[in-house]
Amino acid sequence: MPHERQILPHMAQIAYILLCHKDPSPVIEQARRLSRSGDAVAIHVDARAPRDVYEAIRGAVTALPRVILAKKRTRCAWGSWSIVAATLSTIEAALAAFPDATHVYLLSGDCMPIKPAEYVHAFLDQHDADFIECEDFFDSDWIRTGLTEERLKYRHFFNERAQPGLFYRSPSS
């Protein structure tokens, strides 16, 4: 059966942290695929998401093994602390529900790992290290708009996307 859970013989146990705010169908399919190998998935649905999005995801994941929906929902805004808060509370929920997790893998609802579970598990089993994606702040094209160095030097009281007029007129401290 294509959706049958198959636990692979490996030591690495991944708890995928999935942050989403829209499009329930791909999120549900992503949770199915990620949990199929026996890994865990904890989903945070942005508190700003429409109720029907939340309910569709909630209704589908209750039937999936090793998939939970984070009870604490945060209203997220791009580039703000709220995304970090949502991530941390979802990690806490995942580790409480899945204490066998050896690794945490953060994804958004628009992401999917490009390597199969077998490859990821073999890689993690062979390397006794933690991995985190890192971009050189000044040499990468990660920042596409707005201020660059100023992001590190100043505190900004207004969100650039939500309040661009106030953001660019206000003094930074």
Can you name the CATH fold of 14-126? Rossmann fold (3.40.50)
Helix, strand, coil abundance in the chain, percent, nearest 5: 35, 15, 55
41: closest CA among 55, 57, 54? 57
pLDDT higher than 80, residue 10: no
pLDDT higher than 90, residue 77: no
46: closest CA among 10, 3, 87? 87
Domain limits of the chain? Answer: 14-126, 146-173
Q: Which residue has the higher pLDDT, 143 or 97?
A: 97
Segment 70-86 mean pLDDT? 91
Could you give the 3-state DSSP secondary structure of residue 99?
A: coil
Return mean pLDDT, the chain.
Answer: 85
Q: What is the pLDDT of residues 84-118, one digit of tens each?
A: 999 999 999 999 999 999 999 999 888 888 899 88
The model's pTM is 0.76
